[in-house]
Structure 1
């Protein structure tokens, strides 16, 4: 009913949301009561008053409360939290932590406001370590998890050493509870989470959850700053937990969330835990033990220095070489390639032994060859980190028909003519490998340097000897009377180390391709296989095969009058892959980079319209094209070789300088402006990045200036650049000839050598971080 005109209206004041209901307390009254009680802690009534007020505060922050989004409510509450978190009463600290958690979820603004309060954040993380009662630790952990939903929250927790305190809290709880902890993998809406059935395990899993959340948010610098002793203390516990979960992942019998009586299901997945272990291990002390280079050289080449020198001068990258096991009885350092096979006692045990080591393996996805940033590298493998081994990627089960000479794969669903999409292995698939072995199939496992620390130590030392960032290791287990891979050649040099049994190799003496690059076509034309050499490898023997030489091997060995050897075989191949930056072509690109950097801005001024930059880029292309025709540019560059015998260092240096002189002579003689220009035009027609193969050069210091001043040929600008060259072709060709001549006459080996070693260190450290992470998941 409308009031009459002229009558007085009753003036009403708009109520705040918390005043709408009679039973909602006044926020100012609660704040005043709590503050007064905090001022007189010795009063026996103070604690009940504080607890009562805090419970009402917490009720007001309930998401269903109409006041939960009001900033006037947060200000008085948050101003009291630092005092409350310093209370000697566990119940007060517990409710204060719950208030922080609830307030962190009110809004992003509220979350970031809390994150900006140093006293609140520090009070939370320090108390996680100091609190004695489990319910208090649980409340604090939940508050930290709620705060960490924002990037700023995570960042502030890390800045205030939150991860260190949480790890200490985990260790504090873990030690007395390690024997009783059992974590389940629980499937919920397609994801696999970690959960516990028993209440006493909740604290430990919560701490693990918080530690994993913050670890996986760390950048490279923050990971490095975690104290070494803390990493060393916590990683064994994490690996123990991971080992139990890994078995469950393999069995694939996950409990549905609604089927298990779950005391606590975390929001951490099995992959999250694997990532945390991987991250912490990347910057932790190496998991491989040191092996002296003398032991590696002595094991492979026999203890004589002259035999090693003979190998380098006569056979390295030029011809196969057999090293018999002559050092069995000599007293010398010994490299044990097969320490992981100690359980082999008889041939019948081999399939079961193979299954046991396969069960302990996880997938080791390959990473981009030019990737040196640890966290970018991790991004490449995150989706499959910790997953069971995958067919084609980690393992192949294959045999070659001895009559047709065609390869057959046991797991056809994972292979189409030998190439297929990787599929994860289950426990049942691993058991099938035993049956496959009995049917004549070879089990081939790649990436053994990521799975077995003793093998990792050997590959690391061999990489140092041959100046490459890393060396791979593949395991081949072949049953009697069978052949694994068909006749093929590799795009990398290998040392075949016979660990068990015997195997007969057929090696063709002429290379199919001279020093093929990585990932070049590996087809073997049958008409080139006209002669062959038979080599029987017995335990302890080593066979060197340069890239490009066709070969095949089987366990059927004809020894003439003495009869046949027909037994199982286990061998390891150590693969030396020469990546683009670390062959002589790569060294030439680095030398050109270093030369033009040294020339400086004065040289640029001598050429109008950017002709110097154009000439430098075309010369990079010319070097690439020369490498395709001249094997010397595809040879491995050993400039970064280390761990060499002292007596060989002088010879190595002279040898590398001599090769560099040959390379510069080839560049001077064979560089073609016309061919390089045609290469660039074809790249434009294919809409390719014309310098994708040279992007690794950006890893060197000064890369931004070099990219700006000399790498004009980007995908966007190449058309305009080529059009300019067409209009000024004679001038461009003359400038190119002048730059080529000056470069070949002025370039210094020592200038390029230092940059080459710098790049080598970057790659080597990145590979070591990846190796450490993977070894930790297999530990």
Structure 2
């Protein structure tokens, strides 16, 4: 007998959940319950319905942004988020986070509902329970994975609420917060050990996400008092992170136990602090201009005028310690020197300062957009100092006169990419000091607020956007850098000990430009002058003058060995727009705009317009042979003594008149054509050096034409000129003569000052950001 077959019943076909009437009923029940909050049955109904909804929103569910249930869910959330019941709010927040992660489209649908976004951020401060704050933070982070989500959170002042929420929890948690750094795929994520420490880190993560999304105007709109209240706690957390980065105390993500790892990286935290600080008013200490001027040039205002007349960009000048500050001969740097020469020996004090430093990438010459710069430096922002970029440890043999680096293996030619210092490397600097090596630290204006204040005032005196500051710590009986000349003017401020300087009286190159060749032909090193700098002394060295310095008087048997030396060099780097050549280009641009409607109106061939561009080239070529065009233009100088202002104005006008006469007399049409021809042969942009002119009026057709000088266009222009050589040369002479005959100083000065203000603001914002990462 055959066994009876067992029939397996077919599984009942499941109705798609989004069309399930029972599910749809949940929405009407929840909505009705929300409308009757006093009914004792309302809360259980709401929570029961909401929890069922959450089960349908799990990551593997078929729910999509096109689901017909999305609209009902969105309609419920504002009511739930504005409920007076904390448990209902927590459930609503969970739904917001779940929907935000369904898809980008669903995320943007949530972000598009202002009621949801407002309700979300308001609940950061409404309740004290940490569980609620945690859920709200997670939902905000889920919503902020899209640009629209970030923007909508900012539109409802979400960042302000998050920062206030952070301040609510900081008093009890931040000071004792134990930060871990967890490495995962090359990034270092912030983590904490204990459960109760998770909330401030979540709030910090949410704040950093929005801060790093902000554009400049949004950053400026954050209340100043809120920034100032938040800075100390951000600084406290950052100092812990910075110490772990330096000490390489990094956990591997696979070995992390009992630790909450956030999505906030060390770089993102550094960027947030940088961004918040860019427009801060209190980052740089105040330093009256008369105090700075008195320290460097002496108590009399005529001292500055005499210096400008007799030495500026022409000859070295020694200013001995001024007796007007008998209680502190080098008062403007006294607080910095106190930190460097405490009771500990000098190399240990230096190591302590180096441990607090982070990398300061140099600013590009034409960079005026600080947020754009951040995109370039984001990978190293906040990292420990980098060899050769931030620090060098070097000595020069007294006999061979060749430089030797202590960290030979860190030279860029020897390894791939820049090398960041570790805590061990900083300790090695103490040993290097004892072996006669000088430690040179670049960018001190980014690392110390007192030094920043001094450089800011000097920049104002000389009408430049910024002034750099480098620190040199030299042990006894040694020499740091070999004989060299600089492409910038420097004021050497002797802060500690004494140092013997050898200065050569004639420039190797007269007024070299930035990044020009700095090789020193030995045959030109004759008739040197010996200068001994003591504490408080200042030595001015114009660019192009060869020099070297050491802590030993000479190499004979009776040579005198001096003690350790510490000095700062304040560097005035004259960037292309702020030379007199730059001023002349601005004047030509303004003249062309002013006369274009009249002079060029009937120029159907375009010959006159072409002549203007050729004149720009002719002025560029002239600047290589005529030093006056490489001199610093001081038309934007401020912070000057009152009795100096009138002289200064006359001096600037006279210099521009002299430059105009040189242009009229020496600018060559033939040389300019040859320059264009060579640019075509090299496939070069013939106006790449004049791109900064776009900053004055980037939308102007005249300026935009500079962007269109490709090789084909230049070839066409050259062909046209060669066909009408005599007419072209006559047009060039006409343009040159008319331009040079007009008094354009006042108009050019105003535009020059506008350009200067753009550069100065950008450098100041960068300085503020970098200083904040050191405090």
Q: Output the TM-score relative to the length of structure 2.
A: 0.95
Q: Show CA shifts across 1:103-123 (max 9, x none).
A: 011111111111110100111
Tell me the residue number matched to 1:389. Answer: 385
CA distance in structure 2 between the aligned counterparts of 1:723 and 1:206, rounded to whole angstroms: 66
Aligned 8 A contact 2:325 2:331 in 1: no
CA distance in structure 2 between the aligned counterparts of 1:582 and 1:751, rounded to whole angstroms: 16
Tell me the residue number matched to 1:529. Answer: 525
Which of the residues 581, 588, 591 maps onto 1:592?
Answer: 588
CA distance in structure 1 between the aligned counterparts of 2:479 and 2:334, rounded to whole angstroms: 22
Which of the residues 398, 401, 406 maps onto 2:397?
Answer: 401
Which of the residues 189, 193, 198 maps onto 1:193?
Answer: 189
Aligned 8 A contact 1:19 1:26 in 2: no
Tell me the residue number matched to 1:356. Answer: 352
Aligned 8 A contact 1:617 1:713 in 2: no
CA distance in structure 2 between the aligned counterparts of 1:587 and 1:216, rounded to whole angstroms: 37
After superposition, the Cα gap between the structure-2 partners of 1:580 and 1:607, relative to the gap in structure 1 and judged at 3 Å, is same
Q: Within the alignment, does 1:461 sit opposite 2:444 as a pair?
A: no
Q: Show CA shifts across 1:240-297 (max 9, x none).
A: 1101100000011201123222442111100000000001101222411221111111
Which structure 2 residue ranges, 5 or more long, are not aligned?
1-11
Tell me the residue number matched to 1:18. Answer: 17
CA distance in structure 2 between the aligned counterparts of 1:48 and 1:741, rounded to whole angstroms: 90
Q: Within the alignment, does 1:775 sit opposite 2:771 as a pair?
A: yes
Aligned 8 A contact 2:691 2:706 in 1: no
CA distance in structure 2 between the aligned counterparts of 1:688 and 1:447, rounded to whole angstroms: 33
CA distance in structure 2 between the aligned counterparts of 1:164 and 1:551, rounded to whole angstroms: 54
Q: Show CA shifts across 1:534-587 (max 9, x none).
A: 000011111000000000000002599997242110000000000000010100
Tell me the residue number matched to 1:601. Answer: 597
Give the SS at the match of 2:498.
Answer: strand
After superposition, the Cα gap between the structure-2 partners of 1:305 and 1:229, relative to the gap in structure 1 and judged at 3 Å, is same
After superposition, the Cα gap between the structure-2 partners of 1:680 and 1:97, relative to the gap in structure 1 and judged at 3 Å, is same
Aligned 8 A contact 2:498 2:535 in 1: yes
CA distance in structure 2 between the aligned counterparts of 1:135 and 1:155, rounded to whole angstroms: 26
Q: Within the alignment, does 1:34 sit opposite 2:30 as a pair?
A: yes
After superposition, the Cα gap between the structure-2 partners of 1:395 and 1:559, relative to the gap in structure 1 and judged at 3 Å, is closer
CA distance in structure 2 between the aligned counterparts of 1:33 and 1:458, rounded to whole angstroms: 69
Tell me the residue number matched to 2:748. Answer: 752
Alignment of 1:118-517 (within 5 A): 118-327=114-323, 330=326, 335-344=331-340, 349-415=345-411, 421-517=417-513
Which of the residues 611, 619, 628 maps onto 1:615?
Answer: 611
How far 1:709 sits from its partner (Å)?
A: 5.5
Which of the residues 576, 579, 583 maps onto 1:583?
Answer: 579
How far 1:347 sits from its partner (Å)?
A: 9.0
Q: Which moves more between the two structures, 418-427 or 554-563?
A: 554-563
Q: Which moves more between the two structures, 596-605 or 419-428?
A: 419-428
Tell me the residue number matched to 1:762. Answer: 758
CA distance in structure 2 between the aligned counterparts of 1:331 and 1:260, rounded to whole angstroms: 56
Q: Which moves more between the two structures, 256-265 or 686-695?
A: 256-265
Which of the residues 53, 60, 67 maps onto 1:71?
Answer: 67
Q: Show CA shifts across 1:163-215 (max 9, x none).
A: 11111111112123223222211112221101111110111111100100011
How far 1:335 sits from its partner (Å)?
A: 4.0
CA distance in structure 1 between the aligned counterparts of 2:601 and 2:347, rounded to whole angstroms: 70
CA distance in structure 2 between the aligned counterparts of 1:624 and 1:200, rounded to whole angstroms: 65
Aligned 8 A contact 1:559 1:565 in 2: no
Give the SS at the match of 1:425.
Answer: coil
Give the SS at the match of 1:179.
Answer: helix
How far 1:731 sits from its partner (Å)?
A: 2.0
After superposition, the Cα gap between the structure-2 partners of 1:204 and 1:716, relative to the gap in structure 1 and judged at 3 Å, is farther
Q: Which moves more between the two structures, 684-693 or 385-394?
A: 684-693
Aligned 8 A contact 1:367 1:381 in 2: no
Aligned 8 A contact 1:478 1:568 in 2: yes
CA distance in structure 2 between the aligned counterparts of 1:70 and 1:242, rounded to whole angstroms: 43
How far 1:158 sits from its partner (Å)?
A: 1.0
Q: Which moves more between the two structures, 447-456 or 327-336?
A: 327-336
Q: Which moves more between the two structures, 722-731 or 544-553?
A: 722-731
CA distance in structure 2 between the aligned counterparts of 1:630 and 1:91, rounded to whole angstroms: 78
Give the SS at the match of 2:569.
Answer: strand
Tell me the residue number matched to 1:699. Answer: 695
Which of the residues 676, 681, 692 maps onto 1:680?
Answer: 676
Count of matched residue pairs: 765
Q: Show CA shifts across 1:132-167 (max 9, x none).
A: 211111111111111111111111111111111111
Give the SS at the match of 2:470.
Answer: strand
CA distance in structure 2 between the aligned counterparts of 1:534 and 1:541, rounded to whole angstroms: 14
Tell me the residue number matched to 1:726. Answer: 722
CA distance in structure 1 between the aligned counterparts of 2:403 and 2:97, rounded to whole angstroms: 60
Which structure 1 residue ranges, 5 or more long, are not aligned?
1-12
Aligned 8 A contact 2:292 2:332 in 1: no
After superposition, the Cα gap between the structure-2 partners of 1:31 and 1:94, relative to the gap in structure 1 and judged at 3 Å, is same
Q: Output the TM-score relative to the length of structure 1.
A: 0.95
Tell me the residue number matched to 2:3. Answer: none
Aligned 8 A contact 1:614 1:712 in 2: no
Aligned 8 A contact 2:391 2:440 in 1: yes
Aligned 8 A contact 2:340 2:353 in 1: no
How far 1:416 sits from its partner (Å)?
A: 6.3
